[in-house]
Chain A
Amino acid sequence: MATGSIHTSKLNQYGLSALLVVGVSVGCYFISDLVGYRVVAFILLLCVSLLAILFDILPVLFAAALSALVWDFFFIPPHFTLQVSTTEDAILLLMYFVIALINAVLTHKIRRAEKLARDKEEREHMVKLYNTLLNSLSHELRTPIAAIIGATDNLNSNNSNLTPQNRFELVTEISKAGFRLNQQVDNLLNMSRLESGFIQPKNDWCDINELVYEVVQRIEENNSTRRIGININPDLPFFKLDKGLLEQVVYNLVNNAVQYTPAKSNINISAVCHADVLSITVEDNGPGFPHAEIDQVFDKFYRLKNTRTGGTGLGLSIVKGFTEAMKGNVNLENSATGGARFTIGIPAETNYLKNLKNE
């Protein structure tokens, strides 16, 4: 079905076309004595034109043929025959059919042209996205590679001026670069998982306390200077959901807060259960997001206008993609104090500890 036509199946379109033509014809039958059968032709033509706007070309051609027959049979004298008694009426009938045809074909053409224009626009948009990705990727991948090559060259150079402290620092840089590369590759792999459309959440009972503490531990191992607070009731129920996906979502949210807040900022993670919906909030006291850009933050490859370099714009779009794969939603707002507050809500079956006997 051509885009732009209403979403009814082909068969429905034929049915509706027939229904409209018959309905209008019946209506016209009662007024044809009043207005004359030639006006009826115009009313029917109007119907066909309306159908052409809404439906595909074949049902419209069908409506055109049907209405021409109906007009001939019921309205052109002699009534209830397909015979046409005057030359004038014969020409009118022929013209009626041709105009109905032209109507149908023209609307079809216009629609096709529109679709082509839209496709072209989409393609251009994709090319632009692709270029953005290539630019940010080559930056994100080449920077750590440059650090590794530079540091190893330096260590290999037998430069006697290198103090043990220098050597230690160079090795640390290599290690950091490796970590960064690995993170970008993870992001890319996750993105391609999302793009492939084959994410099937594997749900199992999940201890949110355990998950959040693990994520925070992983982030703190990477020498974060942010103060990360966790505020979760130990009696929070278990949720039946995909732990791997949720872990990545929480990791990306906390990591995003770590990357884009000043050193020593506070990051607070909380989780609550409300009516079988798990709600996790990651809040920081950094500068927050510009209001004008909040809606675009989750778009693939989107980077804030005045952001520092680095980052691929993948992290938050993975958050959105994974959350939606779990039938949840993600929301961003600036808190009263101005920091960013991300909230994800995921509907899931719950299970309270106290419901299980401790045998």
Chain B
Amino acid sequence: MIDDEAPIRKLLEITLQSNGYNVLQAATAKEGTITAASHPPDMILLDIGLPDASGHDVLPKLRQWYTNPIIILSVQHGEEDIIRALDNGANDYLVKPFRTGELLARIRSAIRTSTLEETEPVIDAGALQIDLQNRIVKVNAETVKLTATEYTLLALFARNEGKVLTHQYLLREVWGPGYINQSQYLRVFIAQLRKKIEADANRPQYITTESGVGYRFVAT
């Protein structure tokens, strides 16, 4: 945990320890990078506003060698900050103030995704089942007909469960680099996909919106 604010560190320490995690603390970017290198943790919680360097600069340096999840905790809630951090390799981004329940869920999800087998054949998300090997999607045990693009999109989400995928990333991966400014395609297909897999497309449980940033697939 790299954060210069002592009250936040205290809060996180209690929250994390009481949920069975061991916590190493650092108050500066320098201290954090050294601690991470000498005792590589399973996950790093990184603040953006550090006294000696911006978390935006620390992140790419950590990513040169560190492959486990990094979650950003920041008071900066601008879309640019979030997208920049995600593009630089952050697995997730939480804006302070956050609910501790939300933080714990994101931590669990990031760890689960990072330890996921590469070729997980079937993703079981309650009423929704995605068979990646046979390209079959079922809702309430009934096969749902998806178009090729819809399926590609859903499979991409399923392989990155719990992770925010930015608009640009999704457009590039599903439609190709020429489409990164055609966000209306994404809106349309997300809306269609939701109608097919969500119980209530207006209150989506699986594909949730990260306003101005992207979408997240939530399996639980």
Q: Which residues of chain A have a CB within 8 Å of any CB of chain B?
A: 178, 182, 202, 204-207, 209-210, 213-214, 217, 230, 238, 243-244, 247, 351, 353, 356, 358-359
**Which 10 pairs show the lowest CB-CB distances between chains A and B?**
A205-B184, A213-B202, A205-B187, A205-B183, A356-B188, A351-B184, A204-B183, A207-B187, A244-B212, A353-B188
Q: Compute how far the CA of A247 lies from the CA of B210 in the bound complex, rounded to whole angstroms.
A: 13
Q: Is the CB of A244 within 8 A of B79?
A: yes
Q: Say yes or no: is B108 at the interface (Cβ < 8 Å to chain A).
A: no
Q: Is the CB of B203 within 8 A of A359?
A: no
Q: Is the CB of B202 within 8 A of A358?
A: no
What residues of A have a CB within 8 angstroms of the CB of B183 in the complex? 204-205
Contact of B147 among A238, A243, A358 (CB under 8 A): A358
Contact of B149 among A213, A214, A238, A359 (CB under 8 A): A359
What residues of A have a CB within 8 angstroms of the CB of B141 in the complex? none
What residues of A have a CB within 8 angstroms of the CB of B37 in the complex? none
Residues of B166-180 at the interface with A, using a CB-CB cut-off of 8 Å, are 167
Q: Say yes or no: is B192 at the interface (Cβ < 8 Å to chain A).
A: yes
Q: Is the CB of A182 within 8 A of B184?
A: no
Q: Compute how far the CA of A185 lies from the CA of B84 in the bound complex, rounded to whole angstroms.
A: 24
A271 to chain B, nearest CB (A): 13
Q: Is the CB of A207 within 8 A of B191?
A: yes
Contact of A359 among B148, B167, B212 (CB under 8 A): B148
State whether A353 and B97 are in contact (beta carbons under 8 Å apart), knowing that A213-B203, A243-B211 are contacts in the complex: no
Closest to A179 in B: B97
Q: Is the CB of A243 within 8 A of B212?
A: yes
Other A-B pairs, 17, CB within 8 Å; known A178-B97, A214-B211, A359-B148: A182-B97, A202-B79, A204-B167, A205-B183, A206-B187, A209-B202, A217-B203, A238-B187, A243-B212, A244-B79, A353-B188, A356-B185, A356-B188, A358-B188, A358-B192, A359-B147, A359-B149
Closest to A186 in B: B77
Closest to A189 in B: B77
Closest to B191 in A: A207
Q: Say yes or no: is B209 at the interface (Cβ < 8 Å to chain A).
A: yes
What residues of B have a CB within 8 angstroms of the CB of A210 in the complex? 191, 202, 209
A-facing mask of B177-214, CB < 8 A → 1, else 0?
00000011101101110000000001100000101100
Q: Compute how far the CA of A141 lies from the CA of B149 in the bound complex, rounded to whole angstroms.
A: 50
Q: Compute how far the CA of A178 lies from the CA of B147 in the bound complex, rounded to whole angstroms.
A: 46
Closest to A242 in B: B212
A222 to chain B, nearest CB (A): 12
Q: Compute how far the CA of A230 lies from the CA of B97 in the bound complex, rounded to whole angstroms.
A: 29
12 CB contacts below 8 A, A to B, read A204-B167, A204-B183, A205-B183, A205-B187, A207-B187, A238-B188, A243-B211, A244-B212, A351-B184, A353-B192, A356-B184, A356-B188
A-facing mask of B136-149, CB < 8 A → 1, else 0?
00000000000111
Q: Is the CB of B211 within 8 A of A244?
A: yes
What residues of B have a CB within 8 angstroms of the CB of A247 in the complex? 211
A264 to chain B, nearest CB (A): 22
Q: Compute how far the CA of A182 lies from the CA of B149 in the bound complex, rounded to whole angstroms.
A: 41
Contact of A214 among B147, B167, B190, B209 (CB under 8 A): B209
Q: Compute how far the CA of A217 lies from the CA of B184 in the bound complex, rounded to whole angstroms.
A: 24
B172 to chain A, nearest CB (A): 16
Closest to B189 in A: A358
What residues of A have a CB within 8 angstroms of the CB of B212 in the complex? 243-244
B105 to chain A, nearest CB (A): 15
What residues of A have a CB within 8 angstroms of the CB of B191 in the complex? 207, 210, 353
